[in-house]
């Protein structure tokens, strides 16, 4: 199978780009240090509103109680959760563990303000901030100090910051979150020394917003809230959101904010004709319209996509996806309610346009659909590969970004160019961490060149698993962000 013949033909595509999930979002593995709220979030576990540990359900303590070590206690004399580690312990707390202190040369303490904050404000607080996707904030000393041991364990095991690509393939990608060994050592030593605060005067300059768009030109929200289908656990619904442009603009960045993250399993925003979308919407009862596979309307392609783990996306400098005044956007949302109650959702997207009058090279999100697989029951390491011709077949195209996608049984996904040049490789697929990976320099695919995508799965079920839209089906899919 090949990707479309010409970039202009991307319009004619009707392909499936969906996803699903079955894994519970909060349990002892995903929330080892806190407790799980009713909405499935991992909470700190040491506040009176959300008390608990080891991924158990959070408890609200009675008014007179405190939360001490993950349990509600009537004894308020200990000072609750804040008692441990004291304020400025320079030794004491860590005592035995790894000998981290010796690495700093004895006397000098590794402190929050001097050593740790310069790392966390670049590498952690993009997610671990008020309103961020992380389950707790790590913006202040008071927030980070009780988490010191958990922070050490997460960075030493390289669970945090999350970063999925194999470093030896295609990268380093823009925004690589991998910490250096020296940074990991600093966080370890700080935790081992009892998480000393240090002197606020040592604090580094704040780096500006991390993980957010630098500028928001439009915020488009579903006109009405929508409650997912009461009968289907996988509900695909499209909603018109209208940028109401008066002239052509290029989308150079976006940030999709799912209304109810627990039930929104993906969002793809397709460019559509505004009037056609209005008609489609009016012909079906309720907000929006049913749309499996794509927007159900003719579309020159998407402007962007969101799956769990996707943050704000800024397209490579000088490129963007063009929108004209007659175009609207159809937000295709896959709701999955297998393991979560149905509640009204109102998802929105923030857009950043190129400044008026600046020239921007038109880019496209080209889909790669490798759908010919059939994973036998109980298979392990079942592998499937497909190659895709350059869509122009003549002209070289420049591939700037890649967004691989599988469902929850996926184990690995790799995309390569001619002569097996590795473009991106996700050796341990995790449905919860999906995003576009951008190269600092584009990869030029020659006119006669092809890309190859290879996926591997385990199938623990007793049925054959094929390509499909449902959460329990699988995919071997990617978007390539490319220009001529």
Note the residues at the interface with ligand HEC (CB under 6 A): 30, 32-33, 42, 120, 123-124, 126-128, 133-135, 147, 150-151, 153-155, 159-162, 177
What's the closest the beta carbon of residue 441 comes to ligand HEC, in angstroms? 24
Cβ nearer to ligand HEC, comparing 30 with 454:
30
What token pair was written down for 447?
């006119």
Contact predicate 440/375, CB 8 Å = no
In angstroms, what is the minimal distance from the CB of 122 to ligand HEC?
Answer: 9
**Which of residues 162 and 418 has its CB atom nearest to ligand HEC in the complex?**
162
Compare residues 238 and 424 and give the one whose CB is closer to ligand HEC: 424
Nearer to ligand HEC, 33 or 46 (CB): 33
Pick 150 or 329: Cβ nearer ligand HEC: 150
Cα separation of 84 and 391, whole Å? 61
Angle at 144 between CA 114 and CA 153, to 5 degrees: 95
Helices (H) and strands (E) in the chain, counts: 6, 24
Q: Are strands 35-36 and 319-323 parallel, antiparallel or unpaired?
A: unpaired
Other Cβ atoms within 10 Å of 481 Cβ, number: 25
Sign of the torsion angle spanned by Cα atoms 194, 198, 200, 204 = negative
Q: Give the CA radius of gyration of the chain.
A: 24
Q: Could you tell me the smallest distance in angstroms from the CB atom of residue 173 to ligand HEC? A: 14
362, 320 in Cβ contact below 8 A?
A: yes
Question: Position of tokens 């999709």?
Answer: 256
DSSP letter at 54 equals: T
Q: Tokens 């996509």 belong to which residue? A: 305
Cβ(204)–Cβ(112) below 8 Å: no
Min dist CB 212 to ligand HEC, Å, is 12
Whether the CB-CB separation of 247 and 361 falls below 8 Å is answered with: no
Closer residue to ligand HEC (CB): 337 or 434: 434
Angle between the N-to-C axes of helices 148-156 and 181-192, in degrees from 0 to 180, rounded to the nearest 10: 150
CB of 129 to ligand HEC, least distance (A): 10
Question: Minimum CB separation from ligand HEC for residue 456, in Å?
Answer: 22
Least distance from ligand HEC to the Cβ atom of residue 38, Å: 17
Picking from 189, 185, 200, the residue whose alpha carbon sits closest to that of residue 113 is 200
Buried b (16+ CB within 10 A) or exposed e, 119-156: bbbbbbbbbbbeebebbbbbbebebbbbbbbbbbbbbb
Measured CA angle at 306 (ends 291, 129), to 5 deg: 140
Of 411 and 432, nearer to ligand HEC (C-beta) is 432
Could you tell me the smallest distance in angstroms from the CB atom of residue 447 to ligand HEC? 37
Residue with tokens 């509600």: 72
Q: Which is nearer to ligand HEC, 55 or 320 (CB)?
A: 55
Contacts of 172 (CB under 8 A, 6+ apart): 440
Task: Tell me how far, at minimum, the Cβ of 79 lies from ligand HEC, in Å.
Answer: 23
Closest CA to 237 of 346, 365, 328: 346
CB of 125 to ligand HEC, least distance (A): 8
User: Which C-beta is closer to ligand HEC: that of 160 or that of 330?
Assistant: 160
211 or 418: whose CB is closer to ligand HEC? 211
Q: How far is the CB of 324 from ligand HEC (least distance, A)?
A: 34
Rounded to an integer, what distance in angstroms lies between the CA atom of residue 93 and that of residue 350? 44
Which C-beta is closer to ligand HEC: that of 161 or that of 287? 161
Q: Can you tell me whether residue 142 is helix, strand or coil?
A: helix
Name which of 225, 234, 263, 231 is nearest 39 in CA terms.
263
Q: Are 293 and 415 in contact (CB under 8 A)?
A: no
All residues at 6 or more sequence positions from 63 whose CB lies less than 8 Å from its CB, including other chains? none
Query: Among residues 126 and 301, whose Cβ is nearest to ligand HEC?
Result: 126
Minimum distance, C-beta of residue 183 to ligand HEC, in the bound complex (Å): 8
């Amino acid at each position: 199978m090949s990707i479309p013949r010409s970039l202009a033909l991307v319009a004619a595509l009707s392909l499936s780009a969906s996803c699903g999930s079955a894994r519970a979002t909060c349990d002892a593995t995903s929330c080892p240090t806190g407790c799980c709220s009713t909405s499935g979030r991992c909470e700190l576990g040491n506040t009176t509103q959300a008390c608990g540990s080891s991924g158990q359900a959070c408890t609200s303590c009675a008014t007179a109680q405190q939360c001490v070590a993950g349990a509600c206690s009537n004894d308020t004399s200990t000072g609750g959760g804040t008692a441990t580690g004291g304020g400025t312990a320079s030794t004491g707390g860590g005592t035995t563990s790894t000998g981290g202190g010796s690495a700093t040369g004895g006397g000098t303490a590794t402190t929050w303000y001097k050593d740790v904050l310069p790392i966390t404000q670049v590498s952690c607080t993009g997610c671990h901030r008020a309103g961020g996707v992380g389950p707790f904030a790590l913006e202040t000393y008071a927030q980070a100090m009780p988490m010191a041991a958990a922070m050490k364990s997460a960075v030493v095991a390289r669970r945090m910051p999350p970063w999925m690509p194999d470093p030896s393939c295609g990268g380093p990608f823009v925004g690589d979150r991998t910490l250096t060994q020296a940074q990991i050592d600093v966080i370890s030593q700080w935790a081992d020394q009892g998480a000393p605060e240090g002197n606020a005067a040592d604090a580094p300059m704040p780096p500006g917003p991390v993980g957010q768009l630098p500028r928001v030109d439009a915020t488009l929200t579903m006109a009405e809230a929508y409650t997912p289908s009461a009968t289907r656990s996988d509900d695909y619904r499209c909603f018109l959101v209208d940028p109401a442009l008066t002239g052509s603009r290029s989308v150079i960045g976006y940030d999709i904010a799912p209304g109810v993250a627990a039930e929104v399993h993906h969002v793809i925003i397709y460019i559509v004709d505004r009037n056609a979308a209005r008609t489609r919407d009016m012909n079906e009862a309720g907000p929006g319209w049913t749309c499996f596979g794509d927007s159900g309307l003719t579309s020159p392609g998407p402007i962007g996509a969101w799956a769990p783990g996707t943050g704000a996306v800024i397209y490579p400098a000088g490129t963007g996806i063009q929108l004209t005044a007659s175009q609207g956007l159809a937000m295709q949302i896959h709701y999955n309610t297998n393991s979560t109650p149905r509640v009204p959702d109102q998802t929105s997207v923030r857009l950043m346009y190129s400044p008026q009058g600046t020239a921007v090279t038109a880019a496209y999100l080209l889909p790669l659909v490798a759908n010919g697989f059939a994973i036998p029951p109980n298979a392990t390491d079942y592998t499937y590969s497909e190659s895709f011709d350059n869509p122009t077949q003549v002209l070289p195209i420049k591939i700037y970004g890649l967004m691989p996608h599988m469902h929850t049984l996926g184990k690995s996904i790799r995309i390569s160019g001619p002569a097996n040049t590795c473009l991106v490789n996700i050796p341990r697929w995790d449905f919860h961490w999906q995003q576009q990976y951008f190269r600092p320099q584009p990869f030029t695919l020659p006119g006669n060149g092809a890309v190859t995508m290879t996926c591997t799965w385990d199938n623990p079920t007793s049925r054959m698993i094929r390509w499909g839209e449902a959460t329990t089906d699988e995919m071997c899919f990617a978007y390539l962000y490319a220009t001529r």
